[in-house]
Amino acid sequence: AMIEKGNYRHYMQKEIFEQPQVIGDALATYLDPATRRPRLPEGGPDWAAVPRLTIVACGTSSYAALVAKYWFEQIARLPVEVDIASEFRYREAPMPKGGVALFISQSGETADTLAALRYAKDENQFIVALVNVPESSMAREADLVLPILAGPEIGVASTKAFTCQLTVLMCLVLAVARSRGTIDAAEEARLCAALSEVPARALEVLNHDEKIRAIALWLAEARDVLYLGRGAIFPIALEGALKLKEISYIHAEGYAAGELKHGPIALIDEAVPVIVLAPHGPLFEKTVSNMQEVLARGGRVVLLSDTAGIETEGRNAAEIIELPMVDAFVTPVLYAIPVQLLAYHTAVAKGTDVDQPRNLAKSVTVE
């Protein structure tokens, strides 16, 4: 069926605004309604016996993989390797006996990711496909399929598929942590409660649309933009930069904030906006000290933090986007939304073709 844009100007905008709904749909499937604990389809591996998880993907999906690495390692104490499919498929990596390989793909058809899946299958890995299209090639060839339930995504730049990937990955991590005995009941209940709140918090984040549009008006004048983050938010900095490049054609880079001094700080001057993603929490002070280094060199900072973060350090930033106070576990999915909106409004301000950016395809089924 033809999918309508409704009151939205672009499919991408519609898909950004659908996120509270589709994240809720994913949670309704992956959280048991009675216990609010994650439930996964039957037929998965014995996670307690898995020596290593390998996650492979392309583009935006590869940033979901990178976020998941932080979660699986911290919460489920499971060693994780992440690679982009175009490298992984040719590098002849040895894979451990009893290992699990997870392939993340909106389309389930990306040629490099599919080839990587076949390689892992030859290496006798248990194959899990996290896809949006349940009839896709990857779904057919996997041992276990985890549909992300985002609904059809039309905009070439992925938005709701990314946050649904993260949502299903959070459920998977909690289920894996339980079967590996690395999480106690109280902690699991606390994280599940944070997870259940994500749709409501995502709706609050979307309320910043007007403010973000105003910021995008000056972002549209920039030639280069830097995005900084740490920990599980670092991949969101990468995703923010990718989104901006894809649809506004402005050069952007995402960096781990701690790596700033090893190169990118040389780029900083009044003309380079720096988007700092810094939810309060154990890494907040570290990220803020990197932000101070940027400010000391005349950089114009857009700080994305929450009430607690902003009270401490917000006064020095040029612009502040105040996001809801949530558990650190769920911040990647919530901080993904403002960076999508920043890219969207910047592209609209520049007058580019938001839904069909030049040179890009929705699904890359050739090498």
- Which residues of the shown chain bind ligand G6P in the complex (CB under 6 A)? 58-61, 105-107, 110, 113, 156-158, 360, 362-364
Using the 8-state DSSP alphabet, how is residue 27 labeled? H
Closest to ligand G6P by CB, 153 or 306? 153
CA-wise closest residue to 161 among 361, 354, 25, 4: 25
Angle formed by the axes of helices 160-180 and 19-30, to 10°? 30
Residues 6+ apart with CB under 8 A from 333: 23, 163, 166, 167, 170, 198, 202
Question: Smallest distance from the beta carbon of 149 to ligand G6P, in angstroms?
Answer: 15
Give the CA distances from residue 299 to residues 1, 110, 222, 302, 351, in Å, rounded to whole numbers and listed in that order.
Answer: 48, 38, 12, 10, 26
Coil, strand or helix at 72: helix
E-strand spans in the chain?
A: 53-57, 80-84, 100-105, 126-131, 144-147, 224-229, 251-256, 273-277, 300-306, 319-323
Question: Smallest distance from the beta carbon of 113 to ligand G6P, in angstroms?
Answer: 5
Cβ atoms of 227 and 241 within 8 Å: the answer is: yes
Question: Smallest distance from the beta carbon of 124 to ligand G6P, in angstroms?
Answer: 24
Question: Smallest distance from the beta carbon of 21 to ligand G6P, in angstroms?
Answer: 20
Closest to ligand G6P by CB, 36 or 362? 362
Closest to ligand G6P by CB, 117 or 265? 117
Closest to ligand G6P by CB, 271 or 361? 361
Closest to ligand G6P by CB, 77 or 251? 251
Give the residue at shortest CB distance from ligand G6P: 59
Question: Smallest distance from the beta carbon of 340 to ligand G6P, in angstroms?
Answer: 12
Question: Smallest distance from the beta carbon of 362 to ligand G6P, in angstroms?
Answer: 6
Closest to ligand G6P by CB, 61 or 287? 61
